[in-house]
Structure 1
Amino acid sequence: MNGLTLTPVQILVGAGVLLGLCWVWRAGARRAKAAAEAARSGARLVSLAGRVLFNAGLIVAVQWVVIAHPGNRWLLFAVLGLPALFSSYALTRAMTVTTLDTSKRGGHR
């Protein structure tokens, strides 16, 4: 039978190689996770843009039908006014600046 004998230097080199492999593996995993997150972020943006365009087209189509076939003035005001209210609400919320005042523990600057 052959006995496996390793010197302390060989053990340290082996541990260093294992540590290096773990480091490279974790770095690759982080890079892959960052790439996946960037792809998801881009997909979310495209999905959001698609939904916005679809809803805008739907609103325009309904408005076009009501304007093309006049008859009821209140229906015209509702069809033109409700989307204006929704969009003004969304724009107001998007443009409103909110601050989060937090106090830091410890020393004050």
Structure 2
Amino acid sequence: MTIELTPTQILIGVGVVLVLFLVWRASARRRRAAADAARVSARLLSLTGRVLVQAGFIVGVQWVVITQQVSTTFLLVVLSVPALFAAHTLTKALTVTTVDSPRNKGERR
């Protein structure tokens, strides 16, 4: 049994295979983009949850120290340590750093 195909039939077959391959690649890209978007939103939600839990813990400790009326030194320590961490984080986040592009060997300053 022999199969005889005309050049037109061969081109149609190659075209169908090519279209199927392109559709498969496009769907893989869409799935990857959807997975990346879901990962980013989950990461943001996880970070938000951790920030809220930590803030609640800090506020709770400060509330206990303020309401129990312990020594003034202890009160200042409990209030200033979280403020130092917050100031450090804000300073790092708001500091603008420049990135110098690498120079070629023959370039002058």
Cα deviation, 1:10-44, whole Å, max 9, x if unaligned, reads 11111111011101100110011001101110111
- Look up the equivalent residue of 1:3 and give its one-letter code: T
Q: Which residues of structure 2 form unaligned runs of 5+?
A: 105-109
TM-score of the aligned structures, taking structure 1 as reference length: 0.90
* DSSP-derived class of the 1:94 partner: helix
Residue 99 of structure 1 and its aligned partner are, at CA, apart by 1.9
Aligned mates of 1:50, 1:17 — CA distance in 2? 49
- Look up the equivalent residue of 1:83 and give its one-letter code: P
Cα deviation, 1:27-80, whole Å, max 9, x if unaligned, reads 110011001101110111111111111100000000000000012222111110
Aligned mates of 1:71, 1:62 — CA distance in 2? 12
Q: Which residues of structure 1 form unaligned runs of 5+?
A: none
1:5-44 equivalences in 2 (<5 Å): 5-44=4-43
Aligned mates of 1:103, 1:21 — CA distance in 2? 45
Aligned mates of 1:88, 1:82 — CA distance in 2? 10
- Look up the equivalent residue of 2:93 and give its one-letter code: A
Aligned mates of 1:97, 1:80 — CA distance in 2? 28
Residue 104 of structure 1 and its aligned partner are, at CA, apart by 7.0
Aligned mates of 1:104, 1:10 — CA distance in 2? 57
Count of aligned pairs between the two proteins: 105
Pairwise CA RMSD of aligned residues? 1.5
Aligned mates of 2:79, 2:60 — CA distance in 1? 12
- Look up the equivalent residue of 2:73 and give its one-letter code: W
1:41-80 equivalences in 2 (<5 Å): 41-80=40-79
* DSSP-derived class of the 1:5 partner: coil
Structure 1 ranges of 4+ moved more than 6 A: none
Counting aligned pairs with the same residue, the percent is 56
TM-score of the aligned structures, taking structure 2 as reference length: 0.90
